[in-house]
Amino acid sequence: MTSSVDHLGRPIVAVTGLGVVTSLGVGKADNWAALTAGKSGIHPITRFPTDHLRTTIGGMVDFLPSSGRGTAALTRELAETAAAEAIEQAGIGKTFGGPLFLASPPIEIEWADRFTLYNASEDGDGYARLLAAARSRNDRSLFEASQFGQIADSLSERFGTRGLPVTLSTACASGATAIQLGVEAIRRGECDRALAIGADGSATAEALIRFSLLSALSTNNDTPERASKPFSRDRDGFVLAEGGAALVLESLESARARGAKILGIMQGCGERADDFHRTRSKPDGSPAIAAVKAALDDAGYGIDAIDYVNAHGTSTPENDKMEHLSLSTVFGERIKSIPVSSNKSMIGHTLSAAGAVEAVFSFLTMQNGVLPPTINYDQPDPAIDLDVVPNVKRAADVRAVLSNSFGFGGQNACLVMAREPA
């Protein structure tokens, strides 16, 4: 049996449970079947009217009981559904017994609730009237839906996680950061296992409009399933999407001791903040490059160890160019022979959930020996010379995966995952 500590003498962190929900469906089986079939989950928005909107498509999760019941409710259900699947697979009972790290979107009072409050009072105007109505109604469920800590609190109770649950946001890198926090806690010896979740059910009209104002979204409304086209010459933005994913992280020693099936190893994590601009990366790509290198170093890997890159691949002109720059800088000529594909071509950008969703898919990639494709790759961007696994899945023996997550606010987080302990 191999060692249970890594190249730096730290506990090796195994993954013993995985769960996922995206616009492609609930659970690993349905998602993996759709993802490897090159199926898109992007569709016209039906949750709210799209009059006046520049973008009218999304990768929304419309099939859960909480769909349409607000960001907090849907985010919670996405997290809970994914976590239940992961914990069941890990064979852990009702009490999880380790800390919870939840990546979720910032919470705001929904417009529907603002209107309800406003109509409930006739005192004053604007916010004074909302405050008067808040006082007189004392609606606990509305109050709870406005609290940032509420989702994690409720999940912690549901799954019996230990201690003060952490809710975090590193924008589009959040899911990866949640995993990183879990890995660090296990490496510190604070716990034998941690539950890392990324969930995002925040596709509201206002969210869509905000990203539109930043010119970040695809406006390819006529053919939604073809709108997300990472690394293509004609890519025109990301597609806003929802999803949730959960990973049971566990020290290899603890997983072996209880006879759990090891689904893979969380080998290394790296991060670096960018100080250049609020929404744009430093032109030389140095922070993203540093994050990739930090993840490889943390994993104890050279560039030859990576067999596949699960790209951030948002389909925005800026991201895909910068991601190519950072990968080609770190991997040099070898990048041309490493397949790099983007799950977002099919599921869109699940924002706070993306890093976790894509980590789950990275483990499924290794387990199944199949690379999910980058779909809609009909017009390659000549400036991005990558093997993007165009349009059709491919069989491959994958021992280790690099997954990238980059976000607004200069957030860069990278994960290195392995199929088996070294």
- Residue the block writes with tokens 């006082």: 135
Of 274 and 381, the one with the shorter C-beta distance to another protein is: 274
Q: How far is the CB of 44 from another protein (least distance, A)?
A: 15
Residue at 252: amino acid letter: L
Q: Which long-range contacts (CB under 8 A, 24 or more apart) does 368-371 make?
A: 368/32, 368/36, 369/395, 369/396, 369/397, 369/398, 370/36, 370/394, 370/395, 370/396, 371/308, 371/339, 371/341, 371/395, 371/396, 371/398
Instruction: Mark the segment that binds another protein (CB under 8 A) among 69-77, 209-217, 258-266, 370-378.
Output: 209-217
Judge whether 312 counts as a catalytic residue.
yes
Of 113 and 236, the one with the shorter C-beta distance to another protein is: 113
Of 365 and 403, the one with the shorter C-beta distance to another protein is: 403
Q: Does 50 bind another protein (CB under 8 A)?
A: yes
Instruction: Mark the segment that binds another protein (CB under 8 A) among 30-38, 105-113, 339-347, 395-403.
Output: 105-113
Instruction: Mark the segment that binds another protein (CB under 8 A) among 21-29, 107-115, 256-264, 305-313.
Output: 107-115
Total residues binding another protein (CB under 8 A) = 82
Judge whether 52 counts as a catalytic residue.
no
Restricting to residues 277-336, which ones interact with another protein according to CB under 8 A? 277-279, 287
- Residue 293: HSE in the Cβ half-sphere, 13 Å Cα cutoff: 12
- Residue the block writes with tokens 């800088």: 329
User: Taking the alpha carbons of 159, 163, 169, 174 in that order, is the dihedral positive or negative?
Assistant: negative
The answer to whether 173 and 412 are in contact (CB under 8 A) is: yes
* Residue in 245, 320, 408, 415 binding another protein, rule: CB under 8 A: 408
Residue at 342: amino acid letter: S
Instruction: Give the helix/strand (H/E) hosting 308.
Output: strand 308-310
The answer to whether 86 and 248 are in contact (CB under 8 A) is: yes
Give me the catalytic one of 269, 312, 324, 414: 312
Instruction: Mark the segment that binds another protein (CB under 8 A) among 109-117, 303-311, 318-326, 359-367.
Output: 109-117
Restricting to residues 237-276, which ones interact with another protein according to CB under 8 A? 271-276
Restricting to residues 113-132, which ones interact with another protein according to CB under 8 A? 114-115, 118-119, 125-131
Of 142 and 396, the one with the shorter C-beta distance to another protein is: 142
CA distances from 33 to 40, 162, 179, 387 (A): 12, 34, 25, 22
Residue at 164: amino acid letter: L
* Residue in 5, 84, 120, 205 binding another protein, rule: CB under 8 A: 205
* Residue in 2, 65, 94, 138 binding another protein, rule: CB under 8 A: 138
Give me the catalytic one of 191, 269, 324, 349: 349
The answer to whether 277 and 409 are in contact (CB under 8 A) is: no
The answer to whether 42 and 241 are in contact (CB under 8 A) is: yes
Ramachandran angles phi, psi of 67, nearest 5° = -60, 125
Q: Does 46 bind another protein (CB under 8 A)?
A: no
* Residue in 36, 81, 156, 281 binding another protein, rule: CB under 8 A: 156
Residue at 278: amino acid letter: R
Ramachandran angles phi, psi of 49, nearest 5° = -65, 150
Instruction: Mark the segment that binds another protein (CB under 8 A) among 103-111, 191-199, 251-259, 300-308.
Output: 103-111
* Residue in 53, 84, 262, 422 binding another protein, rule: CB under 8 A: 53
Q: How far is the CB of 103 from another protein (least distance, A)?
A: 10
Q: How far is the CB of 99 from another protein (least distance, A)?
A: 9
Tell me which DSSP letter residue 366 carries: H
Give me the catalytic one of 172, 191, 269, 414: 172
The answer to whether 172 and 196 are in contact (CB under 8 A) is: no
* Residue in 33, 44, 123, 214 binding another protein, rule: CB under 8 A: 214
The answer to whether 293 and 330 are in contact (CB under 8 A) is: yes
Residue at 169: amino acid letter: S
Quote the tokens at residue 43: 């569709």
Judge whether 269 counts as a catalytic residue.
no
* Residue in 62, 139, 297, 387 binding another protein, rule: CB under 8 A: 139
Report the distance separating Cα 195 and Cα 179, nearest Å. Answer: 8
Restricting to residues 164-203, which ones interact with another protein according to CB under 8 A? 164-171, 177, 181, 184-185, 187-190
Of 161 and 314, the one with the shorter C-beta distance to another protein is: 161
Other C-beta atoms closer than 10 Å to the C-beta of 393 total 18
Q: Which residues are catalytic?
A: 172, 312, 349
